[in-house]
Amino acid sequence: MTVRVRFAPSPTGNLHIGSARTAVFNWLFARHHGGKFILRIEDTDLERSRPEYTDNILEGLRWLGLNWDEGPFFQSQRLDSYKEAVQKLLDQGLAYRCYTTSEELETLREAQKARGEAPRYDNRHRNLTPEQRAAFEAEGRSSVIRFKIDDEREIVWNDLVRGKMSWRGSDLGGDMVIARASEEGSGQPLYNFVVVVDDIDMQITHVIRGEDHIANTAKQILLYEAMEAKVPEFSHTPLILNRQGQKLSKRDGVTSISDFQQMGFTAEGLVNYMTLLGWSPPDSTPEIFTLEEAAKEFGFERVNKAGAKFDWDKLDWLNS
Ligand code: GLU
C-alpha cells in the first residue's frame, strides 16, 4: 500500500500555525513512508473563502519547505462529483429530501431545550410518501438532503494518536444534512460530505488532522460505509495551546506563518519548532534537525495526546 495523505486547509484566513503544524505532520508521515502528500483547498464556503488566503497558504507552505506531490485541488472545481455522489445516496435510499423549515426546526429545538435534552433533528421526514413530498413541494418549500444515521450504531475506530475511539449513532444529532437547500436538484454540499467524497477519490490512506475534527470522524465513517469505500486510518493530533492552556487563537497575537516570517524567523527554525509541538524525537535524536532528518524518525507512536503549549523561548532558541 502506498501511503497517501492530504493537507486540506480552508482558505478563510492566512496559514495559521496550528494548520501549518498539521501540514508538517502530514509531510513527515508521507516522506517517512515514501508516500504522497496531496494538497487540497477546501473552498466550498463561498462567503468566507478568498483567493488571497489561498495565495498566503501556498506561499507559506513553499517557504516552510513543505512541497506537495499532487494538487492543489480545489473543491470549488469538483462540484459535479459531489452532486453525483449525493444523487447516488438518494437513489439508494440512504439519503432523502427533508422539507422541514427553519421555523419548525427552531420550535423542535426549543422543545428539546425545555425538556433538558441535547438538540437533534428528529428524522421526521425520513419516510415521507411521494404524496407528502409532492404536497411540500406544491407549498413551495425547498429541501435539504439528509443522510440517514442509525441511532443504534456504535462507531469505533482505532486512532493512531488517541487509541480506541467510540461514538454512538444517537450522539450525532439525528440524520445529517449533506447538501443545502436549493430550488431543484441538490444545493451546496457540506463539509463532512465533500471531505469524504474527496478522500475516496484521492485514495487517501491516512487522514491526519487536528483533534477539533474528532466529532466529524464518526459521521464521516458512516459516509465511507454508505459509499462502500475503505475507511482510512485516522490520526487526530493535539491542539496548540497558549500559555493559559487554551487553544491558540488570533487573540494571542502572532499566529500566522507570514507573521513569523515577517518577524524574521527562519523557515528552518520554525518547522523544527512546529515538529516538536506534539511530537518528540527518539531519545538518541537531537532536538535540532531538518525536516528530512525528522522524517526518518517520524511516527504517531511518539505524538502526544495532550495539547502542546506554545513556547516562545524554545522557538527563539531553535531559531538562533
Ligand atoms: N478544511 C478543514 C480545516 O481547515 C480540514 C478538513 C480535514 O482535514 O478533514 O479545518
Residues 16, 103, single domain; the answer is no
| Residue 250 designated active-site | yes
In this predicted structure, what is the pLDDT of residue 188?
87
Q: Quick check: 275 and 27 in contact, CB under 8 A?
A: no
Residue 293 structural domain: 4-74+238-319
Domains: count for the chain: 2
Find cell 455522489 and name the residue: 85
Nearest ligand 1 atom, CA 6: 8
Residues 29, 121, single domain; the answer is no
CA pair distance 82, 188, nearest whole angstrom? 9
User: Does 203 reside within a domain?
Assistant: no
Q: Is the pTM of this model over 0.85?
A: yes
Cβ of 22 less than 6 Å from ligand 1:
no
Of 194, 227, 258, the domain-final residue: 194
113, 247, 250, 305: the active-site residue:
250
User: Does 277 reside within a domain?
Assistant: yes
Instruction: Retrieve residue 162's grid coordinates.
Output: 488517541
- Closest by CA position to 112, among listed 126, 122, 103, 127: 122
Pocket perturbation via mutation, ligand 1, pick of 213, 214, 239 by most ligand atoms within 8 A of CB: 213
- Closest by CA position to 289, among listed 264, 18, 297: 297
User: Does 219 reside within a domain?
Assistant: no
* Positions in the chain short of pLDDT 50: none
Pocket perturbation via mutation, ligand 1, pick of 24, 42, 204 by most ligand atoms within 8 A of CB: 42
In this predicted structure, what is the pLDDT of residue 224?
98
- Which CATH number is 181's domain given? 3.90.800.10
Residues 60, 103, single domain; the answer is no
Cβ of 209 less than 6 Å from ligand 1:
yes
User: Does 232 reside within a domain?
Assistant: no
Cβ of 236 less than 6 Å from ligand 1:
no
